[in-house]
Each structure stands twice: as structure tokens, then as C-alpha cells.
Amino acid sequence: MAYTIITHFTNLAIHDHGAPQPYINIFNIKRKDKGSSPDLPLGAKETIGSIELNKIISADHFLVKYIDTAEPFSHQQLENIMSLWGELTQAMIFSSWLTKDNNLRVDKLYFCHTEGKNSFWGSGHASIYPLSASGEAHSECSFTNNDFKRWSEIYALFFDYTVNVADGATFTTSVIDAKHPRFSRAVNFISSARSESEPAMKIAQYCSALESLFGTDSSELTHRLSERTAIFLRDCNHNPLDVYNNIKKCYSIRSTVTHGDSFKESKIASIKDDCITLDGYLREILNKILTSKEAQNLIESSKEQINTYFNNKLLRAL
């Protein structure tokens, strides 16, 4: 008997440079030939439905996992497998954002239990629906082979690091749970921000992500977080003064949003650009954490150690 789990990324367009790759690294994303369809078990059309099935067939790729087993899974085992596949898929989606800004999402996961000539189908929903930094929900995002290579590398780093530091927390664990370390809390706030369509609301969540990473107390919060973000990104080819001013501007937007105030029409147009800038900063911050042991040690430190670190960095720059 066998189990098949299948889905695809909505809004993903695969743009190949060079020879086509049948599978993209660790993702098991199968690149379909034009006009072909995945090898689906019997009963797919009747169970999934013509509209949903057409989405899979018309996509230029699909994610598939085949599981062969001598004994059938229990209902609880199958639920656990689907939950794990859902979390892995969300980790793929988040690490795709670490690669580049996008609005990739998974709408549904389908699974099939095949025993002999009989097939039994079921489905599950994804829990988040990311949008781009500008709030785009339906535009295609093109990934080249180089993008997939980077995506694969950052996914491995992201998955390993979150497993090692999360102390049992997952994408479905409450963000206020004590199991969540700074990095995991930041990931949750960023994920929440990415599901917002309004850039000003995104900025509010992004600022909370910065506080999760660098915050130690609430005094002079705007100045302190702007300063620390500028220091942290200083060796990433950013002008610290530009970063400082941009973060302060975003905190001003956040203050307006969280206090229920409104913006003048002349201000609204520029908020999208501010959101894109902040989105980019956070992507660079998290990538630096995933690739730098010094950065990992910093955000895993106590509040006192974080204060000392940034004070030393600031004074040495004088």
C-alpha cells in the first residue's frame, strides 16, 4: 500500500536558465514538461474536483511525497504526517521569503491512500496566505535555478536552526508561548505581517519582529531599535544613518496604526515603499542570523548581554 501527498505553490513561475531540472534540490518540486500532468492515483478527479484538479494540472510544477508502507497508518498517524507536511511546507514558504520577496502560498494539501486498485482521498488547508511586501496577492513570482539553489540552501539553514533553538515550538505554537526564543517570535511576527494586505499594518508587525530580536526594555524604544538595527546591518553595505532614519519612520507609522489614527492621502502612497524597505531589512537580518554564529549568540543571549553588545558596538564606532 502507498500514501501520496501532493500540492503546488500558487503564484510560482519556474524560469529555467540552462537545462531543465526534473527535481529542484531538496524540495521534491517536480518540474513538469509543458502539457504534462502529475501521475495521480485513481479517483483524483472525483475526489479533488475538476476546478481544484485543474489548478494542479495547469501548474508548471508540483510538490509530491510518496510513502510506501507495509501496514496502513492509523488515523492519528495520518493526521501527524499531514501536520508535519504542513509545517514543512510553511517552512518552505518562509524560506522562500528569505530568498526573495514573493507571495507564494499553498492553498490545499491533498493526500491519497492507495491499496491495490482502491484509492481513498482527503485534503487539508494551509494556515497562512502570504502576500508580497507591497501587498500583492496574485502576481506571479519567477524563480530561476539560482533562486532555487539559494532557496534550498537557506531552507536547510532555517529548518536546522529553528529546530535547534525552538525548544519544541512550531509554526502552530502560540507566539506568546515561553517556548519561543527571539528568532522564532520574530518569524511568527513576520509571517503575520506577510498575510496582511495593507502595508501600514505589515509595518506594525515587522516592527514587533525587530523588538523580538533586539528589544530589551521599553524605554526610548524607537531610538533604541532604530540604532540597534542600524548597527546590526552596518556590515551589510547599509549606511547606518539611512537605516536609523528609515526605522524611525516605520515606528512612526506603527504608532499611528496601533493608536487607531489615520493617514493623510499624501502619506499613504509612500508607506508602501517604507514597507518594502523594512521587509528587505528583516530579510537581511534573518539571513545574517542564520549564517553567522556571532549573530546567533547575540539573539540567544540575555537582555543584559544584548545591551552590553550594542553599547560596545556603538562606543567603538565613536
Grade residue 277 by pLDDT with cuts at 50, 70 and 90.
very high
Query: Residue 66 has what pLDDT?
Result: 74
- Look at the block and give the residue holding cell 542600524: 230
Percent of the chain whose pLDDT exceeds 90: 42
What integer pLDDT is reported at residue 128 of this predicted model?
Answer: 66
What phi and psi, each to the nearest 5 degrees, are found at residue 270?
A: -80, -15
pLDDT number for residue 130: 93
* Domain locations in the chain as residue ranges: 2-125, 169-316
User: What's the pLDDT band for 113 if we cut at 50, 70, 90?
Assistant: confident
In DSSP terms, which residues pair with 124 in a beta bridge?
109
Does 243 score more than 90 pLDDT?
yes
Residue 129, sorted as left (phi over 0), alpha (psi -120 to 50) or beta, turns out to be beta
For residue 80, name the pLDDT band (cuts at 50, 70, 90).
Answer: confident
pLDDT the model gives residue 24? 43
What is the b/e burial string over 16-31, where b = at least 16 CB atoms within 10 angstroms of the residue's CB? eeeeeeeebeebebbb
Terminal Cα distance for the chain, rounded: 68
> What proportions of the chain, in percent to the nearest 5, are helix, strand and coil?
55, 15, 30
Per-residue model confidence (pLDDT) at position 26: 42
The pLDDT, as a whole number, for residue 18 is 42
Instruction: Say if strands 29-31 and 12-14 run parallel, antiparallel, or are unpaired.
Output: unpaired
R_g (Cα) of the chain, nearest Å: 22
In terms of Cα–Cα distance, which of 310, 127, 101 is closest to 206? 101
**Model confidence pLDDT, tens digit, residues 145-177:** 888 889 989 998 998 888 777 665 555 566 666
- Cβ contact 51:44 at 8 Å: no
Helix (H, G, I), strand (E, B) or coil at 113: strand
pLDDT digits (tens, 9 = 90+) for 229-242: 999 999 899 999 99
**Confidence check: pLDDT of 32 > 60:** no
Residue 189 CA to residue 205 CA, distance in Å, equals 6
pLDDT tens digit string along 36-53?
555 666 566 666 667 777
Q: Among 75-84, 98-107, 119-128, whose mean pLDDT is lowest?
A: 119-128
Asked if pLDDT for residue 114 goes beyond 50, the answer is: yes
* pLDDT over threshold 60, residue 315: yes
Q: Which of 42, 57, 54 is nearest to 114 (CA)?
A: 42
Model confidence at 19: pLDDT above 50: no
Per-residue cell: 33: 514538461
Checking phi first, is residue 168 left (phi over 0); if not, alpha (psi -120 to 50) or beta?
left
